[in-house]
Amino acid sequence: MQPVSDFRNSELALRLVEKIRRRSKGPARLMEFCGSHTAAILKYGIRQLLPPGVEMLSGPGCPVCVTDQADIDRAITLAKVPCVILCTFGDMLKVPGTYSSLQQTRAEGCDVRMVYSTLDALDIARKNPAKPVVFLGVGFETTAPTIAASIAQAKSQQISNYSVFSLAKLCPPVMKALLDGGEIKIDGIICPGHVSTIIGSKPYEFIPREYGVACVVAGFEPVDILMATDHLLAQIESGRPRVEIAYGRTVSPEGNMRAQELLAEVFEPQPARWRGMGDVAASGYKIKEKYREFDAECLFEIHPGQAKEPAGCCCGDVLRGVIRPTACPLFGRACTPERPVGPCMVSGEGTCASYYIFGEADGR
């Protein structure tokens, strides 16, 4: 494998920029699905290097951001159940729910713990056998196998106080929903790199076939992203959209079979609600019946009451690529990473946070 520095090589990157400029004949609208791509594009100022006709839109690929308001409220309700230890990735702590956040709930005395992996949560369950330990399972196909692994491990090791509140989601169904919605016209998609490591590139094949939209799976360094952009433009200019991999060092068409088997063992797809997009068929990972004793939804009554999204928050529109964060009236004023109003300003993968932190100097 090449060292990561090769993919940051500015000479190589600028050569690709030249290639892209020569190739670009007309307008092209590309969407980077994944929040980590948005962050890298802004961090390296890649949009400034592209020909004027090539537009890049940010997609909904941030698991924290797409978590529905009602689900955040349910997580907070779970944290308030007496004796429960709620384990979560750090990003979720600050996401505002309708009335509170996990961070605030923790300050009020509830036991909410930040973990780096599901195995940390499993460890907490082992050390606190008298308390129910619930892992807040937010993530895409990248994280879902580790959640599945923790459930399988809890079953084999009989850790009966461990459960998962699964809010994990699948990406291809929401890509379909986005294209079906027809609100924005996209010519090409930079497909998520890490997600594709697990699921491979085959699940995107319906996109060029049914929608005529070009697809390239990309890594997260400047050279990766520019290479993917070049491939996308080549497909668009030639009028022959297909799925390509420009991240061959970790992604194959088939993906990681072991991880997929584990996912199929523990989860089954169910409809899930996405912020800004509503219910999307077969886009959520539901814990299978045979693992129901580890499904927090079966173990606890979770009724938080009516959810309400914060007034003026445009996260939904940002997630669908309908507006850029800077068009939201709250951006940078009422909503900042210190005091986020919506989830897109919280996560490092959130489009609004990326725009805020890596803003372009001339304010574009």
Computed on alpha carbons and rounded to an integer, the radius of gyration of the chain in Å comes to 21
CA torsion 4-40-210-196 (nearest 10°) is 40
Binding to another protein (CB under 8 A): which residues in 87-106? Answer: 90, 94
Rounded-to-integer distance, Cα 267 and Cα 193, Å: 22
Q: Which region among 4-12, 69-77, 235-243, 261-269 touches another protein (by CB under 8 A)? A: 4-12
**Binding to another protein in span 259-298, by CB under 8 A:** none
Q: Please pick, from the candidates 206, 211, 300, 358, the single residue that binds another protein as defined by CB under 8 A.
A: 358
114 binds another protein (CB under 8 A): yes
- Any idea what DSSP says for residue 335? B
- Residue among 14, 83, 281, 298 that touches another protein (CB under 8 A): 14
DSSP H stretches of helix in 219-345:
222-238, 257-266, 296-299, 315-319
The residues in 307-336 that bind another protein, with binding defined as CB under 8 A, are 336
7 binds another protein (CB under 8 A): no
Q: 257-266 vs 144-156: helix axis angle to the nearest 10? A: 60
Cα dihedral 315/148/279/81 (nearest 10): -70
Are 161 and 84 in contact by the 8 Å Cβ rule? The answer is: no
Q: How far is the CB of 283 from another protein (least distance, A)?
A: 26
Q: Which is nearer to another protein, 40 or 178 (CB)?
A: 40
The nearer residue to another protein, 35 or 276, going by C-beta atoms, is: 35
Figure out which of the listed residues 33, 44, 267, 331 binds another protein, where binding follows CB under 8 A.
Answer: 44
By CB under 8 A, name the binding residues for another protein: 4, 8, 10, 13-14, 17, 42-46, 48-49, 90, 94, 114, 222, 336-338, 348, 356-361
